[in-house]
Structure 1
């Protein structure tokens, strides 16, 4: 199960809001006004057209099957499914599909194309200048210097089979519901810098961090001399700053306040992503990890 698709789409809105390009060519989205587009896809028109163009470019060399929908209509079906977790009647009718038809093949095809582009749009700052710029923005935001981003687990609800008792228990997270969990790093603007792992919901944050690529890179000082902000589920370490458990003076109290301020950015980012892409709120899990 991969979450690159909704995460990748979520980080594009800020970029696209500043670039109202004239796309010219007609598409299946033209018959919807802006309000209808947002209700159906939870995205703005420039964002939708950008995605459709990007997918079309990636798929232009693929030999289409006779039964395959035009690329724009495939994108329309997929984005609608991401937004609501089901296909709405208006979109199925627009694509010429019946309510009883399952769009999973279309959604799977588009998801594969978009996921293949995720590393272009989700990237960790690799140069010293890039890392320094991110750290300066975070310091200006919360007052903590030399911080590259916020580290947190992102839980996505699933329906795990209760008949496989051992597997079922492994999916139950600390909040008491079944989920899978990914590791996410974002900056102070909510831009996603890294997405890794897809583990059962009962996986501890520290365990996931220790086994992650980014965790090993930080431990090997590939991104020194910077920190990541982590919650109470992480251990205080050379590269992860956690809150002071029992603040004993004003400096520690102020640090915890600054820590909570930047950590809240991650929660806001995840909440926004899950509201926009209802598909990320619930999945049926048929296999164990």
Structure 2
């Protein structure tokens, strides 16, 4: 994709705002081999590099109580937190942070990542876009008129076991505490929709029925298209008579 020159100049200015010390410096992720990298962050090296580069472009300066860290270090702490629901002691020691410092840092980086969501998450709205997504899905699995694959994504958290009722609500069917979001992807793995952050015990169909995309399908705003569910698998097509198929 070609970008206008002013866009590239703006990107360059933001990168230079990080200071020359970070440009060309070895990444802190290079201290991990591929296996250790996946264990610590649940992501591959190319995926981590993409996230780090995207965040670096958006972050000029972050105010922390401790001396400012490099963007790589801030992303490392944040991705480790996402992967395990808490920051690993080894990671915090390596960057010289406490758990309290970590909460503020994760909040800051998460805000930057959330601010980029509209660049990477887009549901097909126009007729041509819907037809293109449906064509690719049909070519992949033979099912016609499918806009995407629906599935819950669980994110591990630490919940206090002393608050028994609250704790139980976060325990999912896999036996650990989490929050869960409803995600729709196309056949290429592109994220089309993310919504409904709920406690981990929430049933998938309950999320779907109360979600924006669920209501849009209910009102037939997307025409004759299906959404295929994964986990408690169901295929949903909305028409005058609502049909839900479980397998």
Taking structure 1 as the reference length, what is the TM-score of the superposition? 0.60
Please give the residue correspondences for 1:46-65 in structure 2 after superposition, counting only pairs within 5 Å: 46-60=46-60
Deviation of 1:200 (Å): 2.6
Question: Residues 59 and 108 from structure 1, CA distance in 2 versus in 1: closer, same or farther, beyond 3 angstroms?
Answer: same
CA contact (8 A) 1:173 1:179 kept: yes
Question: Residues 183 and 33 from structure 1, CA distance in 2 versus in 1: closer, same or farther, beyond 3 angstroms?
Answer: closer
Question: Residues 94 and 188 from structure 1, CA distance in 2 versus in 1: closer, same or farther, beyond 3 angstroms?
Answer: same
CA contact (8 A) 1:204 1:233 kept: no
Deviation of 1:70 (Å): 2.6
Question: Residues 169 and 233 from structure 1, CA distance in 2 versus in 1: closer, same or farther, beyond 3 angstroms?
Answer: farther
Q: RCO (CA 8 Å, sep 6+): is it higher in 1 or 2?
A: 1
Q: Are residue 78 (structure 1) and residue 78 (structure 2) matched? A: yes
Q: Are residue 182 (structure 1) and residue 184 (structure 2) matched? A: no
Question: What runs of 5+ residues in structure 2 fail to find an aligned partner?
Answer: 1-21
- Equivalence for 1:217: 216
Question: Residues 173 and 237 from structure 1, CA distance in 2 versus in 1: closer, same or farther, beyond 3 angstroms?
Answer: farther
Deviation of 1:147 (Å): 0.7
Q: Are residue 154 (structure 1) and residue 153 (structure 2) matched? A: yes
Deviation of 1:66 (Å): 6.6
Question: Residues 178 and 146 from structure 1, CA distance in 2 versus in 1: closer, same or farther, beyond 3 angstroms?
Answer: same
CA contact (8 A) 1:205 1:233 kept: no
2:245 pairs with 243, 246, 249, which one?
Answer: 243
- Equivalence for 1:87: 88
- Equivalence for 1:135: 134
Q: Deviations over 1:193-227 (max 9, x none)?
A: 21111123343333322221111222232221211
CA contact (8 A) 1:139 1:147 kept: yes
Alpha-carbon distance in structure 2 between the residues aligned to 1:30 and 1:203: 35
Alpha-carbon distance in structure 2 between the residues aligned to 1:64 and 1:124: 36
Deviation of 1:228 (Å): 0.7
Q: Deviations over 1:73-99 (max 9, x none)?
A: 22233234434553353x44553x167
- Equivalence for 2:15: none
| CA RMSD between the two structures | 3.7
Alpha-carbon distance in structure 1 between the residues aligned to 2:63 and 2:183: 36
Question: What runs of 5+ residues in structure 1 fail to find an aligned partner?
Answer: 1-22, 246-289
CA contact (8 A) 1:80 1:88 kept: no
CA contact (8 A) 1:229 1:241 kept: no
CA contact (8 A) 1:183 1:209 kept: yes
Does 116-125 or 157-166 show the bigger shift?
A: 157-166
